[in-house]
A and B are shown apart, each in its own frame.
Chain A
Amino acid sequence: MHPCAICQRSRAQIVRPKNGQKICKACFLDVFESEIHTTIIENDIFPTRGERVAIGASGGKDSTVLASVLKTLNERYDYGVEFVLLSIDEGIHGYRDDSLETVKRNAVQYGMELSIVGYEELYGWTMDQVVDKVGRKGNCTYCGVFRRQALDRGAKRLEISHILTGHNADDVAETILMNFLRGDLPRLGRCAEIVTASSTSTMKRSKPLKYAYEKEIVLYAHHRQLDYFSTECVYSPEAFRGSARSLLKELEKVRPSSILDIVRSGEQLLYKDIGPSKKTPSVASGDPNQQSTRKQTQKQEGPRLQTVGSCKHCGYMSSQPICKACALVYSLNKSNALVEVLVTEEPS
Chain B
Amino acid sequence: MDQPMEFEVTMADIAKSSADAADALCRRCRAVPPAVTIRTEPLCAACFTTYLRTKFTRHMEPFRVKPGTEINRRRLLLALSFGVASTALLDILHWHRSLQLQRARRAEYDVLVVHIDESAVASSSTGAVDAQLEKLRGQYEQFEFRSIPLHHIYELPTAIGDTLPDEIAAELEQNGDGESTNADANPLSRLRALLSRLNSRASQVDVIAILRARLLAELAKINGCEAVMLGDSMTRMAAMVLAEVTKGRGHSLPWLISDGPTPYGPSLVRPLRDLTTSELNHYLSFTDIAHLSNATSSAPKPPVAAKNQTIDEIMIRFFDDVSNNHLTANVVRTAAKLHFADDEDRVQRLGLCEICGLPMDENPKLRVARARGHDVSSSNSSNGISNGDSNGNGSIYDADARIYCLEPSPGEEGMKQRRCYGCRRTTQGAGKVDWPVDNR
Are B337 and A295 in touch, CB under 8 angstroms? yes
Are B340 and A265 in touch, CB under 8 angstroms? no
Are A287 and B334 in touch, CB under 8 angstroms? no
What residues on B are CB-neighbors of A43 within 8 Å?
365
B237 contacts A by Cβ under 8 Å: no
Chain B stretch 329-370: residues in CB contact (< 8 A) with chain A: 329-331, 333-335, 337-344, 347, 361, 364-365, 367-368
Are A265 and B249 in touch, CB under 8 angstroms? yes
Which residues on A are within 8 Å of B, measured CB to CB?
18-19, 34-35, 38-39, 41-43, 176-177, 179-185, 188, 193, 211, 243, 247, 250-251, 253-255, 257-258, 260-262, 264-272, 274-275, 277-279, 281-282, 284-290, 292, 295-296, 299
A41-B396, A271-B367 known; A255+B311 contact, CB < 8 A: yes
In Å, the complex CA distance between A268 and B260 comes to 22
Are B342 and A185 in touch, CB under 8 angstroms? no
Which of A34, A180, A181, A264 interacts with B364 by CB under 8 Å? A264
Interchain Cβ contacts under 8 Å between A and B, 21 examples: A180-B241, A181-B327, A185-B334, A211-B403, A211-B404, A247-B314, A261-B246, A261-B247, A261-B421, A262-B245, A264-B250, A268-B364, A270-B364, A272-B338, A279-B341, A281-B341, A285-B261, A289-B258, A289-B260, A295-B339, A296-B339
Number of residue pairs spanning A and B whose beta carbons lie under 8 angstroms apart: 184
Are A272 and B246 in touch, CB under 8 angstroms? no
A264-B404, A264-B421, A287-B260 known; A183+B333 contact, CB < 8 A: yes
Are A257 and B334 in touch, CB under 8 angstroms? no
Which of A18, A258, A286 interacts with B263 by CB under 8 Å? A286
B378 contacts A by Cβ under 8 Å: no
Are A254 and B245 in touch, CB under 8 angstroms? no
Chain B stretch 279-335: residues in CB contact (< 8 A) with chain A: 306-311, 314, 318, 324, 327, 329-331, 333-335
In Å, the complex CA distance between A18 and B368 comes to 25
B5 contacts A by Cβ under 8 Å: no
Closest to A246 in B: B318
What residues on B are CB-neighbors of A284 within 8 Å?
344
What residues on B are CB-neighbors of A267 within 8 Å?
250, 364, 367-368
What residues on B are CB-neighbors of A184 within 8 Å?
334
Are A180 and B258 in touch, CB under 8 angstroms? no
Are A181 and B330 in touch, CB under 8 angstroms? yes
What residues on A are CB-neighbors of B260 within 8 Å?
287-290
Give chain B nearest CB distance to A169 CB in angstroms. Answer: 10
Closest to A285 in B: B261
Are B344 and A257 in touch, CB under 8 angstroms? no
Give chain A nearest CB distance to B235 CB in angstroms. Answer: 14
> Max chain B CB contacts within 10 Å: which of A265, A277, A286?
A265
Are B371 and A243 in touch, CB under 8 angstroms? no
Are A269 and B338 in touch, CB under 8 angstroms? yes
Which of A42, A287, A299 interacts with B403 by CB under 8 Å? A42
Main secondary structure of the interface of A (DSSP, over half): helix
* With A257-B406, A290-B260 already in contact, 9 other A-B pairs whose C-beta atoms are closer than 8 Å: A177-B242, A180-B242, A181-B324, A251-B311, A254-B310, A266-B245, A269-B250, A271-B367, A288-B260
In Å, the complex CA distance between A284 and B399 comes to 33
**Nearest 9 CB-CB pairs, A to B?**
A265-B250, A183-B330, A261-B248, A267-B364, A290-B260, A277-B341, A268-B250, A268-B251, A288-B258
Give chain B nearest CB distance to A194 CB in angstroms. Answer: 9
Which of A261, A266, A271, A286 interacts with B344 by CB under 8 Å? A286
B175 contacts A by Cβ under 8 Å: no
Give chain A nearest CB distance to B263 CB in angstroms. Answer: 7
In Å, the complex CA distance between A282 and B254 comes to 15
What residues on A are CB-neighbors of B263 within 8 Å?
286
Which of B241, B306, B340 interacts with A271 by CB under 8 Å? B340
Closest to A176 in B: B245
What residues on B are CB-neighbors of A39 within 8 Å?
403
Which of A211, A254, A257, A261 interacts with B307 by CB under 8 Å? A254
What residues on B are CB-neighbors of A272 within 8 Å?
338-341
Are A38 and B399 in touch, CB under 8 angstroms? yes
A281-B339, A286-B343, A296-B339 known; A182+B371 contact, CB < 8 A: no
Are A250 and B421 in touch, CB under 8 angstroms? no
B405 contacts A by Cβ under 8 Å: yes
In Å, the complex CA distance between A269 and B37 comes to 37
What residues on A are CB-neighbors of B341 within 8 Å?
271-272, 277, 279, 281
What residues on B are CB-neighbors of A265 within 8 Å?
244-251, 253
What residues on A are CB-neighbors of B254 within 8 Å?
288-289
In Å, the complex CA distance between A282 and B263 comes to 16
Give chain A nearest CB distance to B232 CB in angstroms. Answer: 15
Are B347 and A286 in touch, CB under 8 angstroms? yes
> Max chain A CB contacts within 10 Å: which of B242, B308, B310, B403?
B403
In Å, the complex CA distance between A193 and B371 comes to 14
What residues on A are CB-neighbors of B399 within 8 Å?
38, 42
> Max chain B CB contacts within 10 Å: which of A183, A264, A278?
A264
Closest to A296 in B: B339
